A and B are shown apart, each in its own frame.
Chain A
Amino acid sequence: AQTVTQSQPEMSVQEAETVTLSCTYDTSESDYYLFWYKQPPSRQMILVIRQEAYKQQNATENRFSVNFQKAAKSFSLKISDSQLGDAAMYFCAYRKESGNTPLVFGKGTRLSVIA
């Protein structure tokens, strides 16, 4: 079974600085998708960024980017120019390529942003 591990239960970053959240996963599949979701205090799950495993180029979305290392099964999230609104729980998730398969989540990393 696939598993997703987020080894940092909590992280903190100074406003305007850069922080990297770690995620590793275990799978025997060659094609799959990876996601980062943000959950602010409102509890709404918000998609931050996603990556297709067959693409070597790392995905970027404004201040958010990933470092996808397929051989190492690593999918870290980098947040640049951190803002107070970035404070949230961040979840890494994995899904097999087939669209009718469940999403597997890590346990999350709580990010605090210090003014």
Chain B
Amino acid sequence: NAGVTQTPKFQVLKTGQSMTLQCAQDMNHEYMSWYRQDPGMGLRLIHYSVGAGITDQGEVPNGYNVSRSTTEDFPLRLLSAAPSQTSVYFCASSSFQGMGTQYFGPGTRLLVL
């Protein structure tokens, strides 16, 4: 199993550009989520999904869109990038079974100029 994969690993954007961060998991997990990590702030939840076709907002959703058309994929879209969105982005997935331990992707480092 590849687990949770994210692409790209690193991206530079100009203010106003849009892009999609990809996330995929091969563990058949129902739950998927996106976090951003900023220095001194821990991980903050952007959006999450409890299954295909179902998404919900987290703590910091503004400026981001998500969709979940399949169980495996959960892309994060930046509609019009801003310097405040410079961060490291993590995707995570978990099963509804047991303790629901979340497994993380390797992260995407995004720099918005």
Residue count of chain B within 8 Å CB distance of chain A: 29
Q: Which of A44, A52, A102, A107 contacts B41 (CB 8 A)?
A: A107
- B22-47: which have CB < 8 Å to A? 30-31, 33, 35, 40-45
Let me know if A105 and B99 touch, CB within 8 A.
Answer: no
- Also in contact, A99 and B88, with CB within 8 A (given A35-B101, A91-B43, A108-B42): no
C-beta contact mask, A76-115 vs B, less than 8 Å → 1, else 0?
0000000000000001000100011111011110000000
A105, B94: Cα distance in complex, Å: 16
A106, B30: Cα distance in complex, Å: 24
Let me know if B94 and A99 touch, CB within 8 A.
Answer: yes
Q: Which residues of A contact B40 (CB under 8 A)?
A: 9, 107
Q: Which residues of A contact B48 (CB under 8 A)?
A: 102
